[in-house]
Amino acid sequence: ETGVTQTPRHLVMGMTNKKSLKCEQHLGHNAMYWYKQSAKKPLELMFVYNFKEQTENNSVPSRFSPECPNSSHLFLHLHTLQPEDSALYLCASSQDGGNYGYTFGSGTRLTVV
């Protein structure tokens, strides 16, 4: 297993559901990120973790709750989402102090109904 792995690839959830997105990296990187990609909009940075510590929360609503138990795993817990939260959620990792080259996962396509 190499690179950055995200599960599930697709998720459909109701507005009252609770679900979690998982990200795992096998690259030995020490920084991990959640990005949101909506149609025709820039990739929006949501959260940054360096050495398991959250260093950035880009004004994300509390219905999105990240968790980073170790430097290889990152979760995004979802609760009472809205239809406008439907998007592609991308996880990435990098080596802090490196050449800024992120490695992205394939993303989770989330649909909120």
Partner 1 sequence: DQQVKQNSPSLSVQEGRISILNCDYTNSMFDYFLWYKKYPAEGPTFLISISSIKDKNEDGRFTVFLNKSAKHLSLHIVPSQPGDSAVYFCAAVSGGYNKLIFGAGTRLAVHP
Q: Which residues bind partner 1 (CB under 8 A)?
A: 4, 6, 9, 31, 35, 40-43, 45, 48, 50, 56, 90, 92, 94, 96-107
Element spanning 7, H or E: strand 4-7
Give the shortest CB-42-to-partner 1 separation in angstroms: 5
Least distance (Å) between residue 103 CB and partner 1: 8
Distances 34 to 16, 29, 63, 112 between C-alpha atoms, Å: 22, 15, 14, 18
- Residue (49 or 64) nearer to partner 1, CB: 49
Shortest reach from residue 80's CB to partner 1, in Å: 27
